[in-house]
Amino acid sequence: MILSGQLCVAQTAEPVNDWKPCPSNQAGKQYPQYNSEGRVKFRIVAPEAKSVGCTFRDSSEFKKGEDGAWYGHTRPLDEGFHYYAIKIDGAEVPDPNSRYYFGSSRWGSAVEIPATDADFYALKNVPHGQLREVHYFSKSSDKLRRIYVYTPPDYDKSTRKRYPVLYLQHGGGENETGWGSQGHAGLIMDNLIAEGKAKPFIIVMENGGVSGPRPTNAAPVGAGPGGRGGFNFSAFEKVVTEDLIPYIDANFRTIAKQPQRAMAGLSMGGMQTRSIAPAHLDKFSHIGVFSGGSIAVTNITDLAAFKRR
Amino acid sequence: MILSGQLCVAQTAEPVNDWKPCPSNQAGKQYPQYNSEGRVKFRIVAPEAKSVGCTFRDSSEFKKGEDGAWYGHTRPLDEGFHYYAIKIDGAEVPDPNSRYYFGSSRWGSAVEIPATDADFYALKNVPHGQLREVHYFSKSSDKLRRIYVYTPPDYDKSTRKRYPVLYLQHGGGENETGWGSQGHAGLIMDNLIAEGKAKPFIIVMENGGVSGPRPTNAAPVGAGPGGRGGFNFSAFEKVVTEDLIPYIDANFRTIAKQPQRAMAGLSMGGMQTRSIAPAHLDKFSHIGVFSGGSIAVTNITDLAAFKRR
């Protein structure tokens, strides 16, 4: 009885009251907020709604506060970045207070709970590189494709210096905007370079097949390579090796040699890296697989070459 | 009686049934749709809602369709781009089917009804320039500021060619992303250059003071120059003339001379252009004011110089 009473108290205890606005909020918005437990609290104005909630499992019941708005909070979450939606009388909609990101296969809300070591991706007054939106024509997919390219600070200062290249792929349900937006890839690089912890290199971020190039006035992209639901690794392999690498080497000041070319990716992007890079050891010397499985002997076409490299 | 009956029929007539998905939709989403009258039709899944609507005035009542989703449509709208929100039981939220844009002082939904001459901003297989996200430090506002810079096709091919620059400002409630995203500025330039209708030039898009630099992990920006509600033209004048132009001339291959430097803007950006450019005729030779009022003699500090130029 005593034990069960304690458990009950623990479950219904009020969250720690040290809430701060999330850095992923729209400018000037006080909600969503996060606390030191990693909970996220929402505030939703829905005066005539019967019920309000969010898509995080095990969240508190949402209740109307004294100001008439609905409030509710999540269980403690891992620090970092989470996609979600708000529920209003059965409708799943973006939270009007958050900014919007491409994840979970849609543009929608997400919340960032700053990481303990968030300083490494903070915006600082150091020399900054550029994040470039680039359209190029991919012959193998017969399509104009949109990519983002990070060029390091001073890329435009020298006209002779050439750089290594990392091809960096997003996770499933994300797209070519992910690493540069919610992934803070440019800020991470800027800070590492400023601290002398990384040599400058170019990062190329393509769309691994979840959605195709989707400039603001193009027709919706269908299924198939580069379309929604297109987990077509072999089509993407062609895009990377036949179209993308030659385009980047022709249009950016790269060191266009295998020892200076890397591929890495998160989750689905890791799986793609694991599938593509070991099969093209003439092109890639460095391989990074983040939550994308491990490279088995069976993934290596030419084991002798893999060992040499 | 007959006349009033006809009017009644006209008012309740069904919209023309030639609906097509809007180009501003998320990939694969069939709604919102537009028709040849310029109406926009929405489909919202909100099973337990009592009422659904949208923020366009004079829209039809939203009703549940056979599939259980809510449908409603707008009055005929002007072709082009419109910001809106969906209403669900009193909550104003983004439409989960649209992509999101910064306008009306928030990230939220918008719908594009393709213009009759939409071809001029279509994505085509022509040489494409780049849209670059750039952070620079503005001494006068003591702030890292985010700008977007369009560089024309082949900017990186030659390392010697230098280009004129247009400083192009967004309207009120929009920000530095507007011209490059919903404004299709890059695609318009790419097409004009490909057709030989424009000489290549650089376009620089700053934040005219509605919201400050807001990288994904920065703290919310407060009021004041560059903050929300900051219609501080004189602070912005300092940013443009003391910080931005020197930065651009030092970091891009510009023709850093008054005859090759222009300023233009829409609405609030037009008012800012009208306020800033005529006061700095040593810096600007070309001035474009789009819906930002006209330049009166009282706007000209040095009328003799204005006439000469």
**3-state DSSP helix/strand/coil percent for chain B, to nearest 5?**
20, 25, 50
Whether B265 and B185 have beta carbons less than 8 Å apart is answered as: no
Task: State whether A92 and B252 contact (CB < 8 Å).
Answer: no
Nearest neighbour of A228 by CB, restricted to B28, B93, B212: B28
What pLDDT, in 10s, does the model give residues B129-142?
999 999 999 999 89
Domain with CATH 2.60.40.10 in chain A: 2-116
Looking at beta carbons, which residues of chain A come within 8 Å of B93? 86, 88, 91, 93-96
Closest chain A residue by Cα to residue B108: A96
pLDDT band at A233 (very low <50, low <70, confident <90, very high): confident
Task: State whether A114 and B217 contact (CB < 8 Å).
Answer: yes
Task: State whether A216 and B24 contact (CB < 8 Å).
Answer: yes
What pLDDT, in 10s, does the model give residues A134-187?
999 999 989 999 999 999 999 998 889 999 999 999 999 999 999 999 999 999
Cα R_g (chain B), whole angstroms? 22
- State yes or no: pLDDT of A308 exceeds 90: no
Domain A120-308 -> CATH class: alpha beta
What pLDDT, in 10s, does the model give residues A175-219?
999 999 999 999 999 999 999 999 999 999 999 974 444 333 333
Judge whether B127 is closer than 8 Å to chain A, CB to CB.
no
Task: State whether A216 and B48 contact (CB < 8 Å).
Answer: no
Judge whether A121 is closer than 8 Å to chain B, CB to CB.
yes
Judge whether A108 is closer than 8 Å to chain B, CB to CB.
yes
Nearest neighbour of A25 by CB, restricted to B25, B123, B220: B220
In this prediction, residue B125 carries a pLDDT of 95
Looking at beta carbons, which residues of chain A come within 8 Å of B91? 44-47, 49, 88, 93, 96
Distance between CA atoms of B29 and B53, rounded to whole angstroms? 19
- Specify whether domain B2-116 bears CATH 2.40.50.140: no
Regions in chain B scoring below 70 on pLDDT: 1-12, 210-231, 299, 309
What DSSP character marks residue A25? B
Looking at beta carbons, which residues of chain B come within 8 Å of A29? 220
In this prediction, residue B12 carries a pLDDT of 57
Whether B111 and B91 have beta carbons less than 8 Å apart is answered as: no
Distance from CA of B212 to the nearest CA of A (A): 9
Instruction: Provide the pairing of β-strand A165-169 with A202-205.
Output: parallel
pLDDT band at A301 (very low <50, low <70, confident <90, very high): confident
Domain with CATH 3.40.50.1820 in chain B: 120-308
Please report which helix (H) or strand (E) contains residue A174, including its range.
none
Token pair for B68: 């259980």
Looking at beta carbons, which residues of chain A come within 8 Å of B216? 23-24, 99, 112, 181-182, 184
